Amino acid sequence: MFSGFYNTGIVAYQTLLRLVAPFIPKARLWVDGRHGWAHKLEQQLAGNTKAIAWFHAASLGEFEQGRPVIEAFRTQYPNHKILLTFFSPSGYEVRKDYDGADYIMYLPADTPANARQFVKLVRPQIALFIKYEFWYNYLRALKAAQVPIISFSAIFRPNQLFFKPWGQFYRDMLHCFDHILVQNQESVSLLTSINITNVTLAGDTRFDRVAQVVTTKKAIPIAESFKKNSPLLVVGSAWPEDMAVLIPFINAFTKPLKVIIAPHEIHNNEIDQWQNQLTGRSVRFSEGSELDKSTADILIIDNVGMLSSLYQYGEFAYIGGAFRQGLHNILEAATFGMPLFFGPEYAKFQEAVDLVNEGAAFPINSVVELTLAFNKQYEDARETSQLSRQYVQRNIGATTKVMEVVQKLMSERVNERMSER
């Protein structure tokens, strides 16, 4: 019964996206990216004789979370091909040229026919889902094909449908996984309470990813010359709600401070509005001379892809999204060691809760609160910086635990196939 409702919902969702695609660019990318998917996949896989490992990420954040595992798998199993799928255009469009995977595509909508055809074409030797992805028909098709299925960096909360009295349909999906690697003990306890016992407390692979970011960071000469010897605040993934607090704070701050602002989305009109409101001299990354940038007070990043490397120049970081949209990645800043500031809606993000409890991060509700917290950290940043850096270092290692499970399941599958012969 519930499967019928689920499948009807998937079809309705597809239909809705097709209707709005002419008017909404993101919906158009979602629809166009899946058009003729089976033919495209057949063409990509033509002539391949190697086993395939399938990784699936919802979007860009989940991809970055799973990236250490993808790369560890590539190293440990060099004779396998890697297929990477995305649900969202915000992941696929940014990482469609990622050289760590052999095939990259949108995940076709989760209908029974699509799932069966996809699994039949790919014939994956193993399937790995990153964090939140639970697709009923794909899980059933993989299970029917006896493909080992792993979920990693997963996190569960009591209010999720899996744990409701009427949530059997969703619990059935969890039973499809051969192993689930979770981020925290609460997730272990919740899964155990519904008789899911193939669980490992492994932590979050994002810590391994941000540790990689430090070692692979790119020098950004413009940012270096802009900073000079001044203290620097890096504002990452800023939304209008964040800027409503940040702009008055920046305008009123009288001590030496340079500011780099990286908007979450690049909208020229919005950036123009911010520049008009800022009293200090601001310049866009893409405009002006090197001298303009080096003498400016505020540098606005009007491109994507460099934020993680920009944090290396900062003494302080403000991370956007926690007023409404959802807090963005704070670990990239934490790993470079600095006090962190963000909005009030952070309780769903374990790393934010941890860093607040450790005294390395500071949630704020208003301009006044940001001013008070920042002024204190302006004097004490060195001690706080060590706290955030040490927190990241303590939590590295989840990728190794995931790969131990991968190796065990793949070895078991090989042995089963040999015994069947």
Q: What is the CATH number of the domain that holds 222?
A: 3.40.50.2000
| Contact predicate 100/85, CB 8 Å | no
Cβ count within 10 A of residue 258 = 22
Where would I find the H helices in 220-260?
A: 221-227, 240-252
Query: Residue 377 domain-assigned?
Result: yes
- Strand order of the β-sheet with 316-319 is 282-284, 298-300, 258-263, 232-238, 316-319, 340-342, 361-363
Distances (CA, A) of 387 to 92, 122, 350, 373, 376: 35, 45, 16, 16, 16
Query: Residue 336 domain-assigned?
Result: yes
Query: Residue 350 domain-assigned?
Result: yes
Q: What is the pLDDT of residue 181?
A: 97
Residues 32 and 75 reside in one and the same domain: yes
Burial bucket for residue 9 (CB in 10 Å: 0-12, 13-18, 19+):
exposed
Q: What is the pLDDT of residue 305?
A: 80
What are 278-334's pLDDT values in tens digits?
999 999 999 878 777 889 999 999 988 889 999 999 999 999 999 988 999 999 999
Per-residue confidence at 417, pLDDT binned at 50, 70, 90? low
What are 320-370's pLDDT values in tens digits?
999 988 999 999 999 999 999 999 999 989 899 999 999 999 999 999 999
For 29, the domain range is 2-203+397-420
**Nearest residue to 68 (alpha-carbon basis) of 123, 124, 130, 126:** 130
**Nearest residue to 84 (alpha-carbon basis) of 161, 140, 97, 30:** 97
Q: What is the pLDDT of residue 363?
A: 98
Residues 263 and 136 reside in one and the same domain: no
CA dist., res. 118 & res. 108, Å (int): 8
Task: State whether residue 48 is helix, strand or coil.
Answer: coil
Q: What is the pLDDT of residue 421?
A: 57
Tell me the CATH number at 71. Answer: 3.40.50.11720
Query: Residue 211 domain-assigned?
Result: no
Structure token digits, residue 330: 């704070």
pLDDT value at 246 more than 80:
yes
CA dist., res. 72 & res. 49, Å (int): 22
Q: E strand or H helix at 152, and its extent?
A: strand 149-154
Residues 405 and 366 reside in one and the same domain: no
Residues 135 and 227 reside in one and the same domain: no
Per-residue confidence at 420, pLDDT binned at 50, 70, 90? low
Q: E strand or H helix at 103, and its extent?
A: strand 103-106
Structure token digits, residue 8: 């009807």
| Contact predicate 330/354, CB 8 Å | no
Residues 6 and 44 reside in one and the same domain: yes
Q: What is the pLDDT of residue 419?
A: 65
Structure token digits, residue 380: 């004490």
**Nearest residue to 386 (alpha-carbon basis) of 338, 315, 333, 342:** 338
What are 258-271's pLDDT values in tens digits?
999 999 989 999 99
Phi, psi of 178 (to 5 degrees): -75, -30
Residues 228 and 270 reside in one and the same domain: yes
| Contact predicate 246/319, CB 8 Å | no
What's the whole-number mean pLDDT along residues 195-223? Answer: 92
CA dist., res. 352 & res. 104, Å (int): 31
Residues 244 and 297 reside in one and the same domain: yes
Output Rg (C-alpha) for the chain, integer angstroms.
23
Residues 151 and 293 reside in one and the same domain: no
What's the whole-number mean pLDDT along residues 89-95? Answer: 91
Query: Residue 228 domain-assigned?
Result: yes
Number of separate domains in the chain: 2
Q: What is the pLDDT of residue 382?
A: 77
What's the whole-number mean pLDDT along residues 248-253? Answer: 98
**Nearest residue to 231 (alpha-carbon basis) of 120, 98, 131, 378:** 378
Q: What is the pLDDT of residue 418?
A: 61
Per-residue confidence at 1, pLDDT binned at 50, 70, 90? low
What's the whole-number mean pLDDT along residues 2-8? Answer: 86
Query: Residue 210 domain-assigned?
Result: no
Query: Which residues are paired to 154 by β-bridges?
Result: 182
| pTM of the complete model | 0.82
Per-residue confidence at 154, pLDDT binned at 50, 70, 90? very high
Residues 194 and 291 reside in one and the same domain: no
**Nearest residue to 92 (alpha-carbon basis) of 133, 60, 69:** 60
Distances (CA, A) of 143 to 42, 124, 138, 346: 22, 11, 8, 36
Q: Please report, rounded to a whole number, the percentage of residues in the chain having pLDDT higher than 90.
A: 84
Q: What DSSP character marks residue 158?
A: T
pLDDT value at 380 more than 90:
no
Query: Residue 44 domain-assigned?
Result: yes
Per-residue confidence at 116, pLDDT binned at 50, 70, 90? very high
Residues 337 and 408 reside in one and the same domain: no
What's the whole-number mean pLDDT along residues 61-78? Answer: 95
Residues 167 and 232 reside in one and the same domain: no
pLDDT value at 114 more than 80:
yes
Residues 249 and 147 reside in one and the same domain: no
What's the whole-number mean pLDDT along residues 196-213? Answer: 92
Please give the mean pLDDT across all residues of the chain. Answer: 93
Q: Map tokens 């310049």 to a residue.
A: 283
Query: Which residues are paired to 257 by β-bridges?
Result: none
Query: Which residues are paired to 180 by β-bridges?
Result: 151, 199
Query: Which residues are paired to 244 by β-bridges?
Result: none
* 399: region left, alpha or beta (phi > 0 left; psi from -120 to 50 alpha): alpha
What are 221-240's pLDDT values in tens digits?
999 999 988 999 999 999 99
Query: Residue 209 domain-assigned?
Result: no
What's the whole-number mean pLDDT along residues 241-253? Answer: 98
What's the whole-number mean pLDDT along residues 408-420? Answer: 77
pLDDT value at 18 more than 70:
yes
